[in-house]
Amino acid sequence: MNSGEDKYKIMLSGYIDGELSSDEKAELEMHLKTCSDCRKELEVFQELKEVTGAMKYADIPEHVWDNYWRGIYRRLELGIGWILFSIGAIIILACMCYGIFQNFFLNPDEPLILKIGVGTIILGAIFLLVSVTRERIFAYRRDRYKEIKR
């Protein structure tokens, strides 16, 4: 990142609010063509502008900004966390079930279609189990949050 970056980041909010001189505007627009970082930031600003309506950024208290970003990061982390948790749980449970039913799956006398059927049921049950567990944990966290709020 070069030293000019910060300047452009500050200019972005002025750009959204239409407070830049035409020279500054031209300079920023030139920079936006080459910097995907600032383009992304501009998109976020524009979205926020829509959400907050006529409000200017300077009028938004610091803690609202903090909560806004913390909210985004938290949701991202939660989303990734749950995906990893789900994948891990499904893999482990699938391996355990395969171990339990190994004799059945490896028995050449059992018809393939039956193996596919049993395998599908087991997989379905595992997905349901993981999904229900996730809901339970969510519900538990929500209840605890309510208690703290009270």
State the residues that interact with Zn ion by CB under 5 A.
8, 35, 37-38
Q: Do 94 and 126 form a contact (C-beta atoms < 8 A)?
A: yes
Shortest distance, position 126 Cβ to Zn ion, whole Å: 46
Shortest distance, position 36 Cβ to Zn ion, whole Å: 8
Closer to Zn ion by CB, 37 or 143: give it.
37
Give the CA-trace dihedral at 97, 99, 100, 104, to 10 degrees: 100
Closer to Zn ion by CB, 38 or 130: give it.
38
Rounded to whole angstroms, the Cα distance separating 48 from 42 reads 10
Closer to Zn ion by CB, 8 or 15: give it.
8
One-letter identity of residue 119: G
Closer to Zn ion by CB, 7 or 75: give it.
7
| 84-97 burial code (b ≥16 CB/10 A, e <16) | eeeeebeeebeeeb
Shortest distance, position 26 Cβ to Zn ion, whole Å: 15
Closer to Zn ion by CB, 39 or 70: give it.
39
CA 78, 83, 86, 91 torsion-angle sign: negative
Q: Do 104 and 115 form a contact (C-beta atoms < 8 A)?
A: yes
Shortest distance, position 134 Cβ to Zn ion, whole Å: 39
Shortest distance, position 62 Cβ to Zn ion, whole Å: 23
